[in-house]
Structure 1
Amino acid sequence: MQRYFFNEPYQNQSCFEATAEMYHHMVHVMRMQVGDEVYLAFTNQQVIIAEIVEITAQTLWLKEVAKESQQKELPIEITIASGYPKGDKLEWIVQKGTELGAHQFIGFPASSSVVKWDAKKLAKKAQRLTKIAQEAAEQSHRQVVPTIQLLDQKVSLERQLADYDMVLVAYEESAKQGEKAMLAQVFNQLTTNQRLLVIFGPEGGLTPQEVDQFEEKGAVLCGLGPRILRTETAPLYLLAAASYHFELNG
């Protein structure tokens, strides 16, 4: 069943109105008709099953049939912060990371980042990534669409560290030294609705100076197993580990 996101909180009402892009997708892409059912997801994580009751030239009306009961979101909010990688790797991270349960994605210019995006390019890129996140959230039946934040300065990320309950830095030197306990320790410390930020470097990794700066602001270094992961693979490893720990492990 198709899933659509309303950019508003759920309120109990007789009918829900679909217009613009949502209307176009339902009517012209999916060829839906009166009697068809869809999922409608709202910003307060309420999801309902709704039936199409009327289709006009520009508007489609739906009525609530039932509420979705299954919880689809991780019990903690995980933000993935990636030093800008080359090519379309950030799109891959957002798409697959959304499927795996990330709550937010932050891009920042790390010292080793090769790409240099101006304000116009960042705005256009953020728009595309938001679209990718929404499509991935629909496909994976998420209850929320992850938010996208693309920064033009690394210091903007540093200023946000205090907003999180825990901050991890995925550091390949920690992996090389055999560190393997910190990720599990952090997962064990976190409780429902707490916020975790995890910082990943670009292809060249994070510099020792960057790592020191993050540590000075309270971040903790961690390895992600004995193998060195690519910049687009590491966030997916972490999210999969979080899903196992919080959703599948007992």
Structure 2
Amino acid sequence: MQRYFVERIENDEVLLTGDDAHHIVKVMRMQPGDSMYCCANGKTALCTVAEITNEFVKAAVVQWVEESNELPVFVTIASGLPKGDKLELVVQKGTELGAAAFLPFQAKRSIVKWDSKKGDKKVERWTKIAKEAAEQSHRAVVPSVYAPVTFKELLAMSANYDICIVAYEEESKQGEQARFAGALERLQPGEKALLVFGPEGGLAEEEVTQLREANFIPCGLGPRILRTETAPLYALSAVSYHFELMR
């Protein structure tokens, strides 16, 4: 059944406009009485279409649905700005895997240089991708997608997390395999984790040194070296396995 994220549900009524209304009418071809899910503020309601106009679709709440589709921990993926559309892939698949937020940052080896004056459209696109992926994967919330920050800002923001991890390929090359699993053992349901991944060229040694000084745990992600767009998805899969499939 189709799912839509809305800003609010008031008096057991939902008003859908813009792209969502167009999708309901022109793509799904719904009629009054058809059912769908509407999500607002982390809560999900089963609704039926009550009214369709040229400007909006109004739906009525039939019942509130109890769901537990979210990861029990809040994981923010911090990616060193990669080339091309790789970050779009991370946002889309990372949303499906349960990430709570995406925080791009300007790494020393990032080939892409962020232009804040032209970046609003990119952030808007990433946010739209996250919303569509959350609908497809039946999540109750849409992950937050932040505009890229500097490395210094990333370090400052890390103080807001319970556990901070940096994936560092040199650790994998040296055979380190236990720290990531150990960090997940320490992480408790309801806590927040920040996972940092470098761009295509990896993180510079001085960046890793600063991350260590900020209490980040440097971890290998298995014996193979993963691409910048693959490593976050590997880590999220491991988090899901640890907190959901092993319980």
SS of equivalent to 1:51: strand
> Cα distance, 1:150 vs. partner?
2.3
Instruction: Detail structure 1 runs of 4+ shifted over 6 Å in the superposition.
Output: none
Paired residue total: 247
Q: What residue in structure 2 maps to residue 103 of structure 1?
A: 100
What percentage of residue pairs aligned between the two structures are identical? 51
Q: Could you tell me whether the CA contact under 8 Å between 1:108 and 1:154 is conserved in 2?
A: yes
Q: Could you tell me whether the CA contact under 8 Å between 2:47 and 2:60 is conserved in 1?
A: yes
The one-character-per-residue Cα deviations of 1:31-73 (angstroms, maximum 9, x if unpaired) are: 1101111110112x11111011222332222111222223110
SS of equivalent to 2:237: helix
CA RMSD of aligned residues (A): 1.2
Counting only pairs closer than 5 Å after superposition, residues 1-150 of structure 1 correspond to structure 2 as 1-8=1-8, 13-43=11-41, 45-150=42-147
Where structure 1 has 5 or more consecutive residues not aligned to the other structure, the ranges are: none
Distance 1:69 1:28 in 2: 30
Where structure 2 has 5 or more consecutive residues not aligned to the other structure, the ranges are: none
TM-score of the pair, normalised by structure 1: 0.95
Distance 1:4 1:106 in 2: 24
SS of equivalent to 1:150: coil
Q: Could you tell me whether the CA contact under 8 Å between 1:151 and 1:157 is conserved in 2?
A: no
Distance 2:50 2:33 in 1: 6
TM-score of the pair, normalised by structure 2: 0.96
State the AA in 2 paired with 1:5: F
The one-character-per-residue Cα deviations of 1:176-195 (angstroms, maximum 9, x if unpaired) are: 11111111111111112110
The reply on whether 1:161 has 2:161 as its aligned counterpart is no
Distance 1:15 1:87 in 2: 41
Distance 1:170 1:95 in 2: 20
Distance 1:64 1:23 in 2: 17
Compare 48-57 and 164-173 and name the one that shifted more: 48-57
Q: What residue in structure 1 maps to residue 192 of structure 2?
A: 195
> Cα distance, 1:152 vs. partner?
4.3
SS of equivalent to 1:235: helix
